[in-house]
Amino acid sequence: MSDQREEIFQHTISVIVDNEAGVLARVIGLFSGRGYNIDSLTVAAVADNDSTSRITIVTSGTKMVIEQIKAQLERLVPVHVVGDLTLEGPAVERELALIKVSGVGEARVESLRLADAFRARVVDSTSTSFIFELTGKSTKISAFIDLMQELGLVEVARTGVVALSRGKTGLEQ
Amino acid sequence: MSSEQMSGAEIVIKALQDLGVDVVFGYPGGAVLPIYDALFQQNRIRHILVRHEQAALHAAEGYARSTGKPGVALVTSGPGATNAVTGLTDALMDSIPVVCLTGQVATHLIGNDAFQEADTVGITRPCTKHNYLVKSTDDLGRVLHEAFYIATNGRPGPVVVDLPKDIQVARGVYRNPGKVRHRSYQPQVKGDLALIKKAAEMLAEAKRPIIYSGGGVINAGPAASQLLRELVRLTGYPVTSTLMGLGAVPAHDPHFLGMLGMHGTYEANNAMHDCDVMLCVGARFDDRVTGRLDAFSPGSKKIHIDIDRSSINKNVRVDLGIVGDAAHVLEDLIKVWKAKAYRPDEKALERWWKQIDEWRARDCLKYKPDDKVIMPQYALQRLYALTKDRRPYISTEVGQHQMWAAQFYGFDQPNHWLTSGGLGTMGYGLPAAIGAQIAHPDDLVIDIAGEASILMNIQEMSTAVQHHLPVKVFILNNQYMGMVRQWQDLSYGSRYAESYTAALPDFVALAEAFGGAGLRATRPDEVDDVIKEMMAIDKPVIVDCQVAKLENCFPMVPSGAAHNEMLLGPEDMGEETSEAGKALV
Ligand SMILES: Cc1ncc(C[n+]2csc(CCOP(=O)(O)OP(=O)(O)O)c2C)c(N)n1
Ligand SMILES: [Mg+2]
């Protein structure tokens, strides 16, 4: 039960699944069917032989809902293991974004200067536009996008968060 | 192990045989013709032709629930599969192991809106425990064995295997993999012993304990029911049961308080509310049990044993959750109790039983007898008295009659009570009875029905007649969708919008039209004779038992109320349901 007065927490959850048809639909269907939030979701095959994929989900809810989400994920047949990177200690979280900015003169120079300060790379340029590639925490990417708003922001593509726990062990050990 | 080439359809049949399947409930169509042809050419698996695919699923559920073995259904693509969806959802909600094979258009046509194509795995993903689309004939054997493993292990449930027609036709290799060891799905059956020790300690310290048992105890097999009985005997603690758990503890055991929840007994709901330690075994704190959540058993420490971790702390926060199979955990719990030589607090327990006896003295199931009109409760009391010695399998439809059946038919063993609890599916009872009768040909099987519900799968009379299944349909005919009318009495000023069924069929003539027998009772003094006659007839029988039209089912916890705020009779019906309650189902 989600009690509206209870505090909402954001968690990053890592799920190792069999890399088979429909597995993403199962995970997404679980979230939509039970009314859970998806703040971001990424998925790609991670095993050498492509047999398993890692899904990284950023979600938010009350403590009880977060606990439910993990238990419900564990119940899915193709799910091998579910980890809560927010609870299980420090983790590295990264997101990649491509940001297209168009402008001339002062704005163009300023965007390039800020990109430098954020360590964004220019991956495409025309005489009136840039595409910046930026990697980092989601908050950093959002801050950069905010700054670009006034400098001719055209469009943005973000990958969503990928994350791993710090230290020497992995989710499946 | 042989690895000769066989057609996909032959592999399906061979795998089913290897898995010990002796009966399949199904309905043919273009996309499963190869499988039907393979079925035709063997005689180890019996096929029961139903008259609607929904019924195939409910029959498979009835078979499963009454035997503990998985039920199997076979339906065609498109409309066959979509008709199966209600039954699949029903099995999911009540954790019934069912495997449903669906035909599918040929692989190369998938996605082209081919004739009778439906996205079966897409449609059934949320209403199955798991589903498969088989894309290679060589995979068939593995997938089918896995499907049965998934359906029956952990928390049981329905599994769909979607079989494109070209896969059924193509030749491939089959090998019996024997015991399945799944890559990722390995449910925990043994409970954590440290937690079980803690539970035993909490139970031993209880002053006002209660055991709240559910369908999980039935699903864990007859041994779990025996262990639960032993725990009750050892502790002397009161025990109540959900709708799905009836029969685990004998109804007439003095420790049994009757069913709890919306139409549970006064003593069960009050004891749940006032207890200080609650042991929940294989139940899931659903809304029909808890009533208003913030008022649910506010002063108790709660222990929850469940095979499904996601059931723990879903609706109600518990103090101790133990993941494991009911039988295993109960066995360990009993061992610990004995090893530690725990004794209940006799003084406190005596006080608690005294309190419970006071609640019992309210005699909450009493009703006003009538010598002219058949009271539905009376009809069920007579049905129970006259049939109990034959230990019948009882199924129900959904409505007041279902709740009265739960209240008045005293079950004293597991697996004899088949009812649609979670989904509340009208039309469940007759096909479920057919499934149970197939599994237990010499036993008495009765569907306690309402006149509205029975019309939802009445066509299955034809199935019963064809296969010589002498199921009995005992209709408590009140001419109303009584449960709907009851809610209209409670919350809508008795404005009976569409809850009266005009133009009901003549059920006696209807039974005869199907080739069964029809009987009717209109006065209380006819009830016994009709029941005896019903039992004596060796074919499908419909009994049209015409009962009081406006009787309501009590006790009742109105929606939105706390579980100890029960209406005990018509005299309590004055107040309208709260606004918040009206928004609840
Ligand atoms: C398939 C389906 N449709 C609608 C309902 C809602 N519903 C619940 S009980 C009920 C009335 C059942 O009437 P009847 O079978 O005559 O039983 P009674 O309550 O009169 O004993 C209805 C319509 C349901 N449970 N299932
Ligand atoms: Mg009725």
pLDDT given at position A29? 97
| Contact assignment for A67 to B125 by CB distance below 8 Å | no
Per the structure block, which two tokens stand in for B124?
A: 């059934």
Residues on chain B touching A20 (C-beta within 8 angstroms): none
The amino acid present at B540, given as its one-letter code, is P
CB B212 within 8 A of CB B296: no
Determine the Cα–Cα distance for residues A77 and A85; give it in Å rounded to an integer: 22
Per the structure block, which two tokens stand in for B436?
A: 């149970």
CB A147 within 8 A of CB A114: yes
Question: What is the homologous superfamily of the domain A9-84 according to CATH?
Answer: ACT domain (3.30.70.260)
Question: How many C-beta atoms surround the C-beta of residue B234 within 10 A?
Answer: 16
Q: Is B59's C-beta closer than 6 angstroms to any atom of ligand 1?
A: no
The amino acid present at B83, given as its one-letter code, is N
CB A60 within 8 A of CB A8: yes
Q: SS3 of B85, please?
A: helix
Q: Is B551's C-beta closer than 6 angstroms to any atom of ligand 1?
A: no
Interface test with A, best of B184, B289, B316 (most A CBs within 10 A): B184
Nearest neighbour of A74 by CB, restricted to B133, B293, B309: B309
What is the model's pTM?
Answer: 0.96
Active site residue B256: no
Active site residue B42: no
pLDDT in tens, chain A (173 residues): 444 578 999 999 999 999 999 999 999 999 999 999 999 999 999 988 889 999 999 999 999 999 999 999 999 999 999 999 999 989 999 999 999 999 999 999 999 999 999 999 999 999 999 999 999 999 999 999 999 999 999 999 999 999 999 999 999 76
* Best CA proximity match to B270, nearest among B253, B279, B258: B258
3-state SS string for chain A: CCCCCCCCEEEEEEEEEECCCCHHHHHHHHHHHCCCCCCEEEEEECCCCCCEEEEEEEEEECHHHHHHHHHHHHHCCCEEEEEECCCCCCEEEEEEEEEEEECCHHHHHHHHHHHHHCCCEEEEEECCEEEEEEEECHHHHHHHHHHHHCCCEEEEEECCCEEEECCCCCCCC
Q: Using CA coordinates, name the residue in chain A closest to B293.
A: A1
Determine the Cα–Cα distance for residues A160 and B192; give it in Å rounded to an integer: 38
3-state SS string for B211-261: EEECHHHHHCCHHHHHHHHHHHHHHCCCEEECHHHCCCCCCCCCCEEEECC
| Parallel, antiparallel or unpaired: strands B171-173 and B158-164 | unpaired
Interface test with B, best of A1, A62, A63, A84 (most B CBs within 10 A): A1
Closest residue by CA, ligand 1 atom 20: B482
Interface test with A, best of B160, B181, B310, B316 (most A CBs within 10 A): B310
Interchain contact B309–A (C-beta under 8 A): yes
Determine the Cα–Cα distance for residues B529 and B466; give it in Å rounded to an integer: 27
Determine the Cα–Cα distance for residues A45 and A41; give it in Å rounded to an integer: 14
| Contact assignment for B184 to A25 by CB distance below 8 Å | no
Q: Is B547's C-beta closer than 6 angstroms to any atom of ligand 1?
A: no
Determine the Cα–Cα distance for residues B216 and B218; give it in Å rounded to an integer: 5
- Find all residues with CB under 8 Å of B387, minimum gap 6, and list them: B444, B446, B531, B535
Interchain contact B313–A (C-beta under 8 A): yes
* Best CA proximity match to A128, nearest among A109, A102, A150: A102
Determine the Cα–Cα distance for residues B285 and B214; give it in Å rounded to an integer: 10
CB B5 within 8 A of CB B61: no
| Contact assignment for B130 to A67 by CB distance below 8 Å | no
> For residue B99, with 0-12 CB atoms within 10 Å meaning exposed, 13-18 middle and 19 or more buried, which class applies?
buried
Measure CA of the first residue to CA of the last residue in chain A; give whole Å. 32
Q: Are A9-84 and A91-162 in the same CATH fold?
A: yes
| Residue stretches of chain B with pLDDT short of 70 | 1-3
Determine the Cα–Cα distance for residues B547 and B553; give it in Å rounded to an integer: 13
Determine the Cα–Cα distance for residues B300 and B348; give it in Å rounded to an integer: 15
Q: SS3 of B158, please?
A: strand
Q: What are phi and psi of A140, to 5 degrees?
A: -65, -40
Provide the sign of the torsion angle of the four alpha carbons B328, B331, B333, B339, taken in this order: negative
The domain ranges of chain A are: 9-84, 91-162
- From B426, B474, B551, give the residue whose CB has the most ligand 1 atoms within 8 Å, as the site to mutate: B426
Determine the Cα–Cα distance for residues B277 and A54; give it in Å rounded to an integer: 42
Active site residue B165: yes
Q: What are phi and psi of B357, to 5 degrees?
A: -65, -35
A91-162 is a CATH 3.30.420.10 domain: no
Sheet holding B209-213, edge to edge: B256-259, B239-241, B209-213, B277-281, B301-306, B320-323
Residues on chain A touching B314 (C-beta within 8 angstroms): 68, 71
Tell me how close the Cα of B163 comes to any Cα of chain A, in angstroms.
15
Q: Using CA coordinates, name the residue in chain B closest to A26.
A: B125
DSSP B303: E
